[in-house]
Amino acid sequence: MSQPLYLYNTATRSKEVFTTDQNTVGMYCCGPTVYNYAHIGNLRTYLFEDILKRALLWLGYKVKHIVNITDVGHLVSDEDTGEDKMERGAQREGKTVWEIAQMYADAFMNNIHDLHILDPDLWPKATDHLDEMIELVQQLESRGFTYSTSDGIYFDTAHFPAYVDFARLDPQSLQAGSRVEMGEKKAPTDFALWKFSPRDVKRQMEWDSPWGMGFPGWHIECSAMSLKYLGQPLDIHCGGTDHIRIHHTNEIAQVEAATGKQFARFWMHGEFLVLDKEKMAKSGGNFITLDTVKQRGIDPLAYRMFTFTAHYRTPLTFSWDALHAAAQSLQNLKKLIPGESAEAADADLVSEGIARFGEAICDDLNLPRALGVLWETLKNPNLTNATKRAVASEADCILALDLLTRDAREIVTEFTSATGEVIKFISSAQTDHATLEDIKLKIERRKHARARKQFDIADAIREEFARKGYVIKDMKNGTTECVLP
Ligand SMILES: [Zn+2]
């Protein structure tokens, strides 16, 4: 790898150089619970993970990327109480749990594609991995890490002293400050590995197990799927910061207790999107989805750009104004990128620009700084158009903002005159042919007038164009570009 990649590892609370002795980097990202739409705060986490993956690919690593679909077993509360979110979603909408899961998984994937997030290699579903989960619980059972209560099989955290390490939990305050509904649990930190189906309720999703009919706990799903597809230790496990204290702490406990080996080397967590100073959460009811953004006529890529304005480990405050500003900023950035030209880029200056951009990315994915480098490069009067375009093209491998393609709404029409002059019209709506012909004639007349030093004629045409809002640019390669309002 040409340059070292520094990543902040939650496990050590420090930036470390990322290395791997595997041919392929294993990357596991906790996926969506498909009982409702993802809100844009959830999507911020997947955007940070996408930058991580793109950075690894850009540096030349192969990546095996897994994102699970949690379609069973995620309870309303993190403390193993409350209803299953999936069963509740199904009741709310009068559909089967399976229909709900499919519908919201499809919606999630549409969001992912709209945001130019690369698909993982696999989208394993929890409901396809019951055997693996049961096997992992049996392994824990045989090693003496479980006990059973009237409502399930629990992990006994008292037998795993390292439990408090990952989230830096204070064991004293955990006991004293706990207002957690304990039920029959021996300790507030103990968690369900397998829940029994309630006797009086027929669940839509339930499976037979050595312990009776029931369904898996949420934490065991991720562990069973990541072990199956990525082995141990996996290179990078990602999620949101809300996963640190319970979900990832529990995952580490059960995997390391079951196998006696390190679970994951790097743990990376994305910070929240903040709305009105509150974490944007599905349980709060009032949340914004990507469809809401699209319905307001805002390009999903503007949201992608918006999340780049803060480092992934910094909370980002959402407002519609800030999103509109990001959309404008994306347009401005695109306008700075020159069109294709025949001239050759300066190889040294291109690699210098790319190296500076890459350095910011390799410093724990510092996107605000990387974007700063790109703006600076594009505004640098000493760089040629071809050099700027080459740097932008490389940067877009990571940014994935479609920087080199013009706005999809822009329609480009090209004319070549009899004398071989090329005029390129760029408009946001279809312009009728007669208008284009008229402009074309005037551009040619203006050119000839200037050549014959008939400046009054040339100026009159220029003034007319300015009045109508046409922007005429004489490009270096001899073509004329005309941007229509
Ligand atoms: Zn997970």
Using CB atoms within 10 A of its CB, is residue 249 exposed (0-12), middle (13-18) or buried (19+)? Answer: buried
Q: Are residues 418 and 438 in the same domain?
A: yes
Single-letter residue type at 382 = N
Question: Is residue 304 in a domain?
Answer: no
Segment 3-19 mean pLDDT = 96
Question: Is residue 311 in a domain?
Answer: no
Domain span at residue 153 reads 6-291
Largest CA distance in the chain: 97
Q: Are residues 395 and 415 in the same domain?
A: no
Residues with CB under 5 A from ligand 1 (ion): 30, 222
Rounded distance from Cα 237 to ligand 1 centre (Å):
9
What does the alpha-carbon distance between residue 75 and residue 194 come to, in Å, rounded to a whole number?
12
Q: Are residues 280 and 375 in the same domain?
A: no
Rounded distance from Cα 360 to ligand 1 centre (Å):
29
Q: Are residues 362 and 457 in the same domain?
A: no
What does the alpha-carbon distance between residue 1 and residue 394 come to, in Å, rounded to a whole number?
17
Rounded distance from Cα 141 to ligand 1 centre (Å):
21
Using CB atoms within 10 A of its CB, is residue 49 exposed (0-12), middle (13-18) or buried (19+)? Answer: buried
Q: How many structural domains are present in the chain? A: 3
Reported as a pLDDT band with limits 50, 70 and 90, residue 284 is low
Q: Are residues 337 and 206 in the same domain?
A: no
Segment 99-124 mean pLDDT = 95
Q: Are residues 17 and 151 in the same domain?
A: yes
Question: Is residue 264 in a domain?
Answer: yes
Give the residue from 341, 373, 399 where a domain finishes. 399
Q: Are residues 337 and 234 in the same domain?
A: no
Q: So what's the pLDDT on residue 408?
A: 45
Give the residue from 377, 399, 421 where a domain finishes. 399
pTM for this structure? 0.81
Rounded distance from Cα 414 to ligand 1 centre (Å):
52
Helix, strand, coil share (%) of the chain residues, nearest 5: 45, 20, 35
Q: Are residues 103 and 198 in the same domain?
A: yes
Rounded distance from Cα 221 to ligand 1 centre (Å):
7
Rounded distance from Cα 485 to ligand 1 centre (Å):
49
Residues near 304 by Cβ (< 8 Å), separated by ≥ 6?
47, 115, 116, 400, 401
Helix-then-strand count for the chain, H and E: 15, 17
Segment 133-153 mean pLDDT = 96
Question: Is residue 20 in a domain?
Answer: yes
Q: In terms of DSSP bridges, do strands 471-474 and 480-483 run parallel, antiparallel, or are they unpaired?
A: antiparallel
Q: Using alpha carbons, list the distances in angstroms from residue 121 to 26, 76, 107, 126, 418.
A: 11, 29, 18, 16, 53
Inter-residue contact 56 to 236 (CB < 8 Å): no
- Pick 377 or 187 by higher pLDDT: 377
Rounded distance from Cα 243 to ligand 1 centre (Å):
8
Rounded distance from Cα 193 to ligand 1 centre (Å):
14
CATH code for the domain of 187: 3.40.50.620
Question: Is residue 301 in a domain?
Answer: no
The answer on pLDDT for 181 being more than 70 is no
Q: Are residues 370 and 260 in the same domain?
A: no
Q: Are residues 240 and 179 in the same domain?
A: yes
Reported as a pLDDT band with limits 50, 70 and 90, residue 145 is very high
Q: Are residues 222 and 87 in the same domain?
A: yes
- Pick 406 or 128 by higher pLDDT: 128
Reported as a pLDDT band with limits 50, 70 and 90, residue 82 is low
Question: Is residue 306 in a domain?
Answer: no
Reported as a pLDDT band with limits 50, 70 and 90, residue 177 is very low
What does the alpha-carbon distance between residue 299 and residue 294 come to, in Å, rounded to a whole number?
6
Question: Is residue 63 in a domain?
Answer: yes
Q: Which tokens hold the place of 240?
A: 């949101």
CATH code for the domain of 345: 1.20.120.640
Q: So what's the pLDDT on residue 248?
A: 96
Rounded distance from Cα 452 to ligand 1 centre (Å):
73
Question: Is residue 297 in a domain?
Answer: no
Rounded distance from Cα 246 to ligand 1 centre (Å):
10
Rounded distance from Cα 248 to ligand 1 centre (Å):
7
Segment 360-374 mean pLDDT = 98
Rounded distance from Cα 476 to ligand 1 centre (Å):
54
Rounded distance from Cα 478 to ligand 1 centre (Å):
57
Q: So what's the pLDDT on residue 31?
A: 96
Give the residue from 373, 399, 425 where a domain finishes. 399
Rounded distance from Cα 166 to ligand 1 centre (Å):
15
Q: Are residues 247 and 393 in the same domain?
A: no
What does the alpha-carbon distance between residue 397 and residue 390 come to, in Å, rounded to a whole number?
11
Segment 88-104 mean pLDDT = 85
Rounded distance from Cα 159 to ligand 1 centre (Å):
22
